[in-house]
Structure 1
Amino acid sequence: MTVETSIAPEALKQHLVACLGDHLLSAEVKLGEVTLTVSPAHYLAAMQQLRDAAGCRFEQLIDLCGMDYSTYRDGLWEGQRFGVVVHLLSVSLNQRVRVQVFCADDDFPVVASVNSLWSSANWYEREAFDLYGIVFEGHNDLRRILTDYGFIGHPFRKDFPLSGHVEMRYDTERRRVIYEPVTIEPREITPRIIREDNYGGLH
């Protein structure tokens, strides 16, 4: 297989804008990489275009993760709370792109699964479901992958308590793992800062 020389990010952005059309909400170049934002209604169709269309040919999904924007920009974020960010790579054209999609409903975040397009999305989507509670519609095996079967909640959500909801331990009398309410008292620790009198030249 011949690997082509990658095109400049701005030229790639213009090509992807023309290719995806109405599926796109925005496209920009950040830190030398193209970032596309697609609408949740057209997410699956846009991703198929990125995989199959000439000049795109993103054969590999190399990363997918969930996002919780509820505290983004110190709470000044006005968009949807949950999103999914995907990184795609075209080996044949030597180019990559970042795609983000926001879930339409904050209370029940859902986006289409792209597992049928890239099998590598399987465990990534399960991880985003487990940690953020994002449901990937069409995924054929959407279940927790990192937390235990009896786990309550989604630990990467910004409102999830640092100590969790339950704790588990092995009970020697019952000879099994049991779950109990958390006994840790939540508290905030403010570090004490001690500086010399003339620190930084300040008087």
Structure 2
Amino acid sequence: MTRLETLHQNLLATLGESAALKLALGELTLEVPAKKWVDVCTILRDTDSLGFDTCIDLCGIDYSGWGAPTLVAEPGLHPQRFAVVVHLLSVRHNWRLRVRAYVHDDEFPVIATLVHVWPSVNWYEREAFDLFGIVFEGHPDLRRILTDYGFIGYPFRKDFPLSGNVEMRYDTEQQRVIYQPVTIEPRQITPRIVREEGYGAGR
């Protein structure tokens, strides 16, 4: 039995045969309901046969338009627009696991913090809050971590405008940094050589 098969069996033995496990690209993904997020993650950490003592990453995901050219999610692919994913490592057993929870509410998605399970997720959760607007309930210091204090919106959401909503500049008359609506005109992002009329004609 391979290490991956052993992990799969241990997960089923611990969480029950109904555990939502998926195998893709040589990795296991466990899907859990958002309301059981902390409970299941605590079990994954504390059960000897699993031993996921380290959270190596946490991120948000916006599934808007997944596999489609529009921002409307295709039915059946993902039940919610937003999800939170953690990547876990068991140093003792030398195996990894991806755990995903879909977060309800497109405007203000909320899920419980995992800071008390793995303290290392502190800044990861702040990043997911900053970039996706996912609120981690119970987080001890949920502030923006990458964008500026006056930043408006969540730049990793797929409906966020490419030029942003607000620009920041230093005003020499007021001698301070000020914020104002974006005044950048939309740029043509198609390469010039492709835009030129007749490109490729006769070749």
Does residue 44 in structure 1 map to residue 63 in structure 2?
Answer: no
1:17 aligned onto 2:12: yes
Specify every segment of 5 or more residues in structure 2 that has no aligned partner in the other structure, as ranges: none
CA distance, structure 1, for counterparts of residue 7 and residue 163 of structure 2? 45
Normalised TM-score (structure 2): 0.87
1:65 aligns with 2:51: no
Does the 8 Å CA contact 2:63/2:78 hold for their aligned counterparts?
Answer: no
Q: Deviations over 1:48-78 (max 9, x none)?
A: 0000002111111000000000121114245
Identity %: 57
> Partners in 2 of 1:124 and 1:8 — Cα distance?
28
Distance 1:52-1:186 versus aligned 2 partners, 3 A rule: same
Paired residues of 1:87 and 1:99 also in contact (CA < 8 A): yes
1:30 matched residue in structure 2: 24
Q: Is the 8 A contact 2:28 2:97 kept in 1?
A: yes
> What's the secondary structure of 2:15's corresponding residue?
helix
TM-score (norm 1): 0.87
Counterpart residue number, 1:182 = 182
What SS is found at the alignment partner of 2:16?
Answer: helix
Is it true that 1:126 corresponds to 2:120 in the alignment?
Answer: no
What does residue 201 of structure 1 align with? none
Q: Per-residue deviation at 1:84?
A: 0.7
May I ask how many residue pairs the two structures share in their alignment? Answer: 192
Task: Answer with 138-147 or 182-191: which moved more.
Answer: 182-191
Q: Equivalences for 1:55-134 in 2 at 5 Å?
A: 55-74=49-68, 75-76=73-74, 77-134=77-134
Looking at structure 2, the residues matched to 79 and 188 of structure 1 have their Cα atoms a distance apart, in angstroms, of 35
How far does residue 167 in structure 1 lie from its aligned partner after superposition? Answer: 0.5
Shift >6 Å, 4+ stretches:
none
Contact in 2 for aligned 1:23/1:39 (Cα 8 Å): no
Partner Cα separation in structure 2 for residue 23 and residue 161 of structure 1: 41
Query: Unaligned stretches of 5+ in structure 1?
Result: 1-5, 199-203
How far is the alpha carbon of 1:37 from its aligned partner?
0.7
CA distance in 1, matches of 2:143, 2:17: 33
Deviates more, 1:132-141 or 1:28-37: 28-37
In the alignment, the residues of structure 1 paired with residue 43 and residue 82 of structure 2 have an alpha-carbon distance, to the nearest angstrom, of 24
Which is further off, 131-140 or 66-75? 66-75
